[in-house]
């Protein structure tokens, strides 16, 4: 049995994938705007959580290796937090890390 792995179409970066999927121009625009807002909101939330972790590391004068041990992650993961590489983390992972240092996260819906 052979699995077909041929790429038949590539969506350009920044293109509206909803338009390419066949949605009407109006609906594609609406979906695109909504998805971009959701992506941005998630990124901002992750940045807030990472800022809390970074501040804690700084306040305790910890080296990344020391913080990694306490947070139960690798040193490169701590570097990714400090450098706010949001795409490398889920919100759950960041919340878990904050919990490990005694900073439980409370969710407020606006």
**pLDDT, tens digit (0-9, with 9 covering 90-100), for 67-88:** 999 999 999 999 999 999 999 9
Closest CA to 57 of 23, 35, 38, 83: 83
pLDDT at 45: 96
Helix ranges, the chain (H): 17-20, 25-59, 64-71, 75-82, 91-100
- Domain architecture of the chain: domains with CATH: 17-100 (1.10.260.40)
Q: What is the pLDDT along the chain (110 residues), one digit of tens a residue?
A: 889 899 888 888 888 999 999 999 999 999 999 999 999 999 999 999 999 999 999 999 999 999 999 999 999 999 999 999 999 999 999 999 999 999 999 988 88
pLDDT at 108: 85
For residue 93, which phi and psi values (nearest 5 degrees)? -65, -45
pLDDT at 16: 92
Distances (CA, A) of 63 to 14, 47, 67, 69, 77: 38, 20, 6, 10, 13
């Amino acid at each position: 049995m052979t699995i077909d792995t041929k790429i038949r179409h590539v969506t350009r970066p920044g293109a509206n994938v909803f338009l390419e999927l066949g949605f009407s121009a109006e609906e594609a625009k609406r979906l695109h705007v909504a998805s971009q807002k959701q992506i941005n909101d998630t990124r901002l939330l992750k940045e807030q959580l990472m800022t809390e972790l970074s501040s804690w590391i700084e306040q305790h004068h910890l080296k990344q290796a020391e913080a990694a041990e306490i947070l139960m992650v690798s040193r490169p993961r701590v570097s990714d937090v400090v450098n706010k590489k949001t795409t490398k983390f889920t919100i759950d992972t960041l919340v878990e890390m904050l919990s490990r240092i005694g900073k439980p996260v409370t969710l407020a819906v606006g």
